[in-house]
Amino acid sequence: MKLFSCFVLLFAGSVALAADLPRSSPEAQGIASSAVQSFLDEADKVDSLHSVMLVRHGHVIAEGWWAPYHPTARHSLFSLSKSFTSTAVGLAIAEGKLNLDDEVLKAFPDDAPNEPSNNLKSMRLSDLLRMSTGHQTEPPRTGEEAWTKMFLAHPVPFKPGTHFQYNTSATYMQSAMVQKATGQTVLEYLRPRLFEPLGIENPTWELSPQGISTGGYGLSIRTEDIAKFGQLYLQKGQWQGKQLVPAAWIEAATARQTSNGSNPKSDWDQGYGYQFWRCRNGAYRGDGAFGQYCIVLPEQDAVIAITSGLKDMQSVLNIVWDKLLPAMKSSPLPADETAAAKLTKTLQGLSLRQPVAAGKPAAAAGKKFVFASNERKLESISLKAGEKESETILEVRIDGTPQQIVCSTGQWQKGRLAWGPLPAQPAAACGAWTADDTFTAKLCFYETPFVATVQLKYTNDELLLTSQSNVGFGPNKGFELVGKPE
């Protein structure tokens, strides 16, 4: 399947999509374009951000996507999904379908253990929300057994409400309680109450084997949708004259409900609300693995939405506090055409780094190399020249299915791609001969945080293939294979 080249960049001053937030200039909303430029310059050093949208006084003042990421593509939120699940709980409580004091065990009598402990009996919905279930370790979500049953079977050594333990399974239980009370998945329940009023189109949410929204992860939406969600919370639940979410719920959900540490330099030690983190500088946020952020700054009347693929999530927050926070002034600033033009150019030209050409094709590059049976199910690979001088085509066979990956030097080629453990999905590729014996390709799965760097090194009569992901769960996020000529 040939990949095609196409990416879109949206930047400050562009035409907003229907139902999207209004646009303005940074200076008009009290932030210097040079300060936003400084933030981007610092962020570029980590080469891990995928998108950023800065909202001040309800207006988008800067937005950018690092190609091949683009504004109309959804992005996996991972644990930022938790804040949306919490919102569903708040709405269900407002409608009288749930109560903060609802006992978790009573919601699932068919899944209860034969002899539940007193701590399990006393666990309530509020404990799930605060990550204070009494667990010392997170209950598993594996195999064929119902996740609710596994949760209730897990030991509860602490009295609920006394011990903070980050717990994605607790968020799943919230999702399950919403579905039990409303007859709808969290996605279905939120669609008319949150997603549609905010203009969030086609959100997707993974399901458990039991058909329940995973709750703690699995939601995918656009960057602007993240910004709208943050703006809704900043506005205490009001949107275009309507109260979508009770203000009292937002006040409680974003307040410090649980102590979780004391390090003054860590944004993970400032307390936890109802599936929201408290931050330094009077802010709060929802966030997800590898750098998905919805940061709300009430004192500055600002929202920052960021997607990324990085390991050190604190580093991005540090850049926000160092570069953006001090720049937020209480009054509009004089126009700065020079700085604004530089910022616009930067936002238009954002891109993930690509392999740099520094060699010529190896003599053996045209040969087909085959691999012994492996867990990645990669059977063979060969290279051939593309239609253009800048193109190299990887012809690979994975689990019996052939595919072509067109890699251009200096340009992302978009289409669908399967690689390693990742199934076929929207992706983009680029590549170059980085040495006379080595071809390096980057494969970006731009609806996720994952970018694979694939290196083909030709030595004697062998091909050494290494593939490494930018981020991943667990230690084994890369692999290495040796191929022999067919």
pLDDT-based confidence at 150, cuts 50/70/90?
Answer: very high
Q: What is the pLDDT of residues 74-122, one digit of tens each?
A: 999 999 999 999 999 999 999 999 999 999 999 999 999 999 999 999 9
Q: Which of 323, 348, 381 is the last residue of a domain?
A: 323
Per-residue pLDDT, averaged over 369-377, amounts to 95
The percentage of the chain sitting over the pLDDT mark of 70, rounded to a whole number, equals: 96
Write down the pLDDT at residue 478: 87
Write down the pLDDT at residue 421: 76
Q: Which of 323, 352, 375 is the last residue of a domain?
A: 323
Q: Is the pLDDT of residue 331 over 60?
A: yes
CB 449 within 8 A of CB 77: no
Strands (E), 235-374: 238-239, 242-243, 277-278, 284-288, 292-297, 302-308, 369-371
d(CA 65, CA 71): 7
pLDDT-based confidence at 19, cuts 50/70/90?
Answer: low
Per-residue pLDDT, averaged over 144-154, amounts to 96
Question: Which run of H or E residues covers position 313?
Answer: helix 313-319
Q: Is the pLDDT of residue 9 over 80?
A: no
Write down the pLDDT at residue 10: 32
d(CA 324, CA 316): 11
Most distant pair of Cα atoms in the chain: their distance: 72
Write down the pLDDT at residue 420: 77
Q: What is the pLDDT of residues 269-311, one digit of tens each?
A: 999 999 999 999 999 999 999 999 999 999 999 999 999 999 9
Write down the pLDDT at residue 41: 97
R_g of the chain computed on alpha carbons: 24
CB 329 within 8 A of CB 30: yes
Q: Is the pLDDT of residue 211 over 80?
A: yes
d(CA 62, CA 328): 13
The percentage of the chain sitting over the pLDDT mark of 90, rounded to a whole number, equals: 88
Residue 457 lies in domain: 363-485
Per-residue pLDDT, averaged over 422-451, amounts to 95
Q: Which of 256, 291, 323 is the last residue of a domain?
A: 323
Instruction: Output the domain CATH number for residue 446.
Output: 2.40.128.20
Closest to 171 (Cα-Cα) out of 292, 290, 100, 275: 275
**Would 34 be classed as within a structural domain?**
no
CB 429 within 8 A of CB 417: yes
**Would 342 be classed as within a structural domain?**
no
My answer on whether 154 and 202 are in the same domain is yes
Q: How many structural domains comprise the chain? A: 2
**Would 29 be classed as within a structural domain?**
no
Write down the pLDDT at residue 389: 87
Token duo for residue 485:
């000529």
- 257-276 per-residue burial string, b: 16 or more CB within 10 A, e: under 16: bbebeeeeeebbbbbbbbbb
Write down the pLDDT at residue 193: 98
Hey, is 341 helix, strand or coil?
helix
Write down the pLDDT at residue 475: 67
Pairing of β 391-398 and β 49-56: unpaired
**Would 95 be classed as within a structural domain?**
yes
Q: Is the pLDDT of residue 233 over 50?
A: yes
d(CA 380, CA 370): 4
pLDDT-based confidence at 13, cuts 50/70/90?
Answer: very low
Q: What is the pLDDT of residues 389-399, one digit of tens each?
A: 889 999 999 99
Write down the pLDDT at residue 476: 58
d(CA 174, CA 104): 9
CB 57 within 8 A of CB 63: no
My answer on whether 179 and 301 are in the same domain is yes
Write down the pLDDT at residue 3: 33
Which amino acid appears at position 252 of this protein?
Answer: A
Write down the pLDDT at residue 450: 95
Write down the pLDDT at residue 248: 98
**Would 164 be classed as within a structural domain?**
yes
Edge to edge, what strands does the sheet with 59-65 contain? 59-65, 49-56, 302-308, 292-297, 284-288, 277-278
My answer on whether 102 and 194 are in the same domain is yes
Instruction: Output the domain CATH number for residue 112.
Output: 3.40.710.10
My answer on whether 154 and 208 are in the same domain is yes
**Would 309 be classed as within a structural domain?**
yes
pLDDT-based confidence at 227, cuts 50/70/90?
Answer: very high
Q: Is the pLDDT of residue 218 over 50?
A: yes
My answer on whether 267 and 414 are in the same domain is no
pLDDT-based confidence at 46, cuts 50/70/90?
Answer: confident
Q: Is the pLDDT of residue 7 over 60?
A: no
Per-residue pLDDT, averaged over 236-257, amounts to 98
My answer on whether 274 and 408 are in the same domain is no
Per-residue pLDDT, averaged over 380-401, amounts to 93
- Residue 312, Cβ density class (10 Å: 0-12 exposed, 13-18 middle, ≥19 buried): exposed
Hey, is 424 helix, strand or coil?
strand
My answer on whether 270 and 141 are in the same domain is yes
d(CA 147, CA 210): 8
As a whole number, the mean pLDDT across the chain is: 94
Token duo for residue 114:
């034969």
My answer on whether 176 and 95 are in the same domain is yes
**Would 61 be classed as within a structural domain?**
no
CB 220 within 8 A of CB 77: yes
My answer on whether 178 and 284 are in the same domain is yes
My answer on whether 149 and 86 are in the same domain is yes
Closest to 447 (Cα-Cα) out of 5, 2, 78: 78
My answer on whether 288 and 372 are in the same domain is no
Closest to 99 (Cα-Cα) out of 156, 177, 151: 177
Bridge partner list, 455: 440, 466
Long-range CB contact pairs, 117-120, < 8 A, 24+: 117/155, 117/156, 119/156, 119/157, 119/158, 119/159, 119/160, 120/152, 120/156
My answer on whether 407 and 260 are in the same domain is no
